């Protein structure tokens, strides 16, 4: 019993330690001019949100950063600038978000294989090279999707529908292509878990319904919203640009084949 009660405390302590380590690494790198364009662009935009404005992003030269990627979830980070008006606020937020994502990993491992295994999985996540690469890179809005997707996976495996709905909604607001990952979870629920009756009879929000929304969400946001933001300010049509890109790529491939012959 003592071992079981100590495991959640150890998990929380590990998450706090990871957040502190990630914060130190990110701030150390930032203070020594290691930050790049991603931190600059998103800091300027979130700073504007903190003043209840959508400011022109002068770093990459667009009037609205959501014309680059659809990430309204960044608005929730605006209050951080009321406390600390610095780019470091976003780095701290990223460190906390990445550390929080380890909690559902521990919970799933502890429930399936025991507390020691859960702690091992959580520790493996914190030292995984992909996570460390994100810490060493810059702040990026995809960091918000990490705990959201981790929570969605945990909710799927444990059949916690309310948690699933919340995490899916949060993940869909982080970037226009994240719903493609959520669609895969929806198919897992329908095909592997075979939750057909629960899907059709329950009045609560089920993830397969979110899967249908996700199938429409990405193309609508990409082809309509982002297209409008881009064409309004730059006179470009997203579909036309993509078709031209495909056309030139095939032409270039044909030239390469001709040279090889």
Query: pLDDT (tens digit, 9 = 90+) per residue, 9-37?
Result: 999 999 999 999 999 999 999 999 888 88
Output the pLDDT for position 205.
46
The whole domain housing 150 covers 141-261
Question: Residue 12 domain-assigned?
Answer: no
Residue-wise pLDDT for 101-117, tens only, equals 999 999 999 999 999 99
Output the pLDDT for position 63.
84
Residues contacting 186, CB < 8 A, separation 6+:
207, 208, 210, 211, 212, 214
* Lowest-pLDDT choice from 59-68, 183-192, 235-244: 235-244
Residue-wise pLDDT for 134-193, tens only, equals 999 889 888 999 999 999 999 999 989 899 989 998 998 888 888 888 888 888 888 888
Question: Residue 10 domain-assigned?
Answer: no
Residues contacting 29, CB < 8 A, separation 6+:
35, 136
Question: Residue 225 domain-assigned?
Answer: yes
Question: Residue 22 domain-assigned?
Answer: no
Question: Residue 153 domain-assigned?
Answer: yes
Statement: residue 2 has pLDDT above 70: no
Count of other CB atoms within 10 angstroms of residue 21:
15
Number of domains making up the chain: 1
Q: What percent of the chain has pLDDT over 90?
A: 48
| H-assigned helices in the chain | 2-31, 37-50, 80-83, 88-100, 102-113, 115-126, 129-137, 142-158, 161-172, 179-187, 196-201, 207-220, 226-234, 238-260
* Phi, then psi, of 65 in degrees rounded to 5: -65, -20
Q: Which two tokens stand for residue 216?
A: 């429409």
Question: Residue 164 domain-assigned?
Answer: yes
Please tell me the distance from the alpha carbon of residue 179 to that of residue 175, in angstroms, as a whole number.
8
Please tell me the distance from the alpha carbon of residue 41 to that of residue 69, in angstroms, as a whole number.
12
Question: Residue 87 domain-assigned?
Answer: no
Question: Residue 200 domain-assigned?
Answer: yes
Residue-wise pLDDT for 194-214, tens only, equals 776 555 554 444 445 455 554
Output the pLDDT for position 224.
46
Output the pLDDT for position 247.
53
Residue 125: exposure state from Cβ atoms within 10 A (0-12, 13-18, ≥19)? buried
Residue 111: exposure state from Cβ atoms within 10 A (0-12, 13-18, ≥19)? middle
Output the pLDDT for position 176.
80
Q: Please, which pLDDT band fits residue 66 given cuts at 50, 70 and 90? A: confident
Output the pLDDT for position 193.
80
Q: Please, which pLDDT band fits residue 234 given cuts at 50, 70 and 90? A: very low
Collapsed DSSP state (helix, strand, coil) of residue 79: coil
Contact 42, 64 (CB under 8 A): no
Output the pLDDT for position 204.
44
Output the pLDDT for position 245.
47
Closest among 203, 223, 77, 80 to 140, alpha carbons compared: 77
Q: Which two tokens stand for residue 217?
A: 């969400």
Count of other CB atoms within 10 angstroms of residue 230:
18
In the block, residue with structure tokens 């899916």: 168
């Amino acid at each position: 019993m003592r071992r079981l009660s100590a495991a959640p405390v150890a998990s929380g302590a590990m998450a706090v330690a990871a957040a502190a380590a990630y914060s130190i690494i990110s701030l150390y790198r930032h203070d020594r001019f290691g930050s790049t364009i991603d931190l600059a662009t998103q800091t300027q935009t979130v700073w504007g949100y903190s003043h209840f404005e959508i400011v022109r992003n002068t770093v990459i030269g667009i009037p609205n950063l959501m014309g680059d990627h659809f990430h309204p979830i960044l608005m929730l980070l605006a209050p951080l600038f009321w406390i600390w008006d610095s780019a470091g606020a976003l780095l701290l937020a990223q460190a906390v978000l990445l550390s929080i994502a380890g909690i559902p990993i521990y919970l799933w491992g502890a429930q399936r294989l025991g507390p020691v295994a859960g702690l091992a999985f959580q520790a493996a996540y914190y030292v995984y090279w992909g996570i460390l690469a994100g810490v060493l890179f810059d702040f990026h809005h995809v960091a918000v999707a990490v705990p959201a997707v981790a929570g969605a996976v945990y909710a799927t495996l444990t059949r916690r529908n309310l948690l699933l709905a919340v995490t899916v909604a949060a993940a869909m607001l982080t970037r226009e292509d994240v719903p493609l990952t959520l669609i895969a979870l929806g198919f897992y629920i329908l095909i592997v878990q075979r939750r057909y009756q629960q899907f059709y009879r329950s009045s609560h929000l089920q993830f397969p319904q979110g899967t249908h929304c996700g199938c429409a969400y990405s193309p609508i946001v990409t082809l309509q919203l982002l297209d409008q933001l881009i064409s309004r300010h730059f006179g470009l049509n997203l579909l036309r640009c993509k078709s031209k890109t495909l056309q030139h790529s095939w032409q270039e491939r044909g030239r390469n084949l001709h040279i090889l012959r």
